[in-house]
């Protein structure tokens, strides 16, 4: 379950927030798992290094989401009798 995160170029909006879109893909197949807008408020960063850390923090849960997607795929089409 190797995945990669691709980011669009960072833009700064009128409030000073940094915005990028993260696209999470399977490394082997290129399948897109999901896409999410990442917004870092101006008070959350003071330079490029702290902006990168803030983005890293906001994407920290992506591995768990990919794992959940893969687990759900394993259950697709399964019939459960109770």
DSSP result, the chain? --EEEEEPPPEE-TTS-EEEEEEEEETTT--EEEEEEEEE-GGG-SSHHHHHHHHHHHTTTHHHHHHHHHHHHHHTT-----
Strand partners, 24: 5, 34
Give the model confidence (pLDDT) of 13-68 as tens digits.
Answer: 999 999 999 999 999 999 999 999 999 999 999 999 999 999 999 999 999 999 99
Q: How confident is the model at residue 77 (pLDDT cuts 50, 70, 90)?
A: confident
Predicted pLDDT at 50: 97
Query: Could you state, in order of their start, the residue ranges of all structural domains in the chain?
Result: 3-75
Q: How much is the pTM?
A: 0.85
Looking at residue 29, what is its pLDDT? 94
């Amino acid at each position: 379950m190797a995945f990669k995160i691709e980011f669009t170029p960072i833009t700064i909006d009128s409030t000073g927030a940094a915005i990028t879109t993260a696209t999470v893909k399977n490394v082997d197949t290129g399948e897109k798992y999901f896409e999410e807008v990442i917004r870092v408020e101006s008070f959350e960063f003071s330079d490029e290094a702290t902006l990168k850390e803030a983005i890293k923090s906001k994407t920290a849960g992506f591995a768990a989401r990919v794992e959940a997607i893969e687990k759900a795929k394993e259950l697709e089409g399964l019939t459960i009798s109770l």
